[in-house]
A and B are shown apart, each in its own frame.
Chain A
Amino acid sequence: DAGVIQSPRHEVTEMGQEVTLRCKPISGHNSLFWYRQTMMRGLELLIYFNNNVPIDDSGMPEDRFSAKMPNASFSTLKIQPSEPRDSAVYFCASTFGDRLAETYEQYFGPGTRLTVT
């Protein structure tokens, strides 16, 4: 298995531009997570999906952020318009999860390093 795939690996954009980050989870996993990591705030959970349905988006910082999971093998995180404070590394992770809190390890993608100038 190729693991969790994220694209692009690096993104540099100007303030006000739309940014779309992409993630392909590991086949067979039914939970997908989007995280943001900065030096100041550490690793923050933005949103997560179970069976393609958003379960909790309380970590999404603002309405400028949106995420979709149209099918089990693809998810996007969009920022529109982007701002310099959105600069961070964005990770996607997947696992198999269910309501009963049976837990399995999360597999993280390599991340997208976003720089907004």
Chain B
Amino acid sequence: GQQVMQIPQYQHVQEGEDFTTYCNSSTTLSNIQWYKQRPGGHPVFLIQLVKSGEVKKQKRLTFQFGEAKKNSSLHITATQTTDVGTYFCASAKSWGKLQFGAGTQVVVTP
């Protein structure tokens, strides 16, 4: 079935630096959602992208949906220790079902 691939699997970032994580699919996605899971916590919804080329910002987080709707990215500027966690992208199916990627685990060093 359709899968979303996330890269990188792990991201070590120095506090204050920027980084980007990517979500790729071989097929066109109807939309994409991003979730964040803090260590020991549960996934929490961040944002949903629906339109081709859509860009949305949440403070230091910038989310982008590719023009072909086959990829998405999450860019974090000036990383803080509160950004630690695993970031998942997920593609939506019918009945509210989501196909989750494997996630990017982010570690921030002070």
Contacts and interface: CB of A to CB of B under 8 A. Distances in A.
Interface residues of A, number: 27
30 contacts: A31-B95, A31-B96, A33-B96, A33-B97, A42-B100, A43-B100, A43-B103, A45-B97, A45-B98, A45-B100, A56-B97, A91-B43, A96-B96, A97-B95, A98-B96, A99-B95, A100-B94, A101-B30, A101-B93, A103-B33, A103-B48, A103-B92, A103-B98, A106-B43, A106-B45, A106-B96, A106-B98, A108-B42, A110-B41, A110-B42
Contacts of A103: 30-31, 33, 48, 92, 96, 98
B102 A42 contact: yes
B33 A105 contact: yes
B63 interface: no
B87 interface: no
Contacts, number: 67
A91 B96 CA distance: 16
Interface of A: 31, 33, 42-43, 45, 48, 50, 55-56, 91, 93, 95-101, 103-111
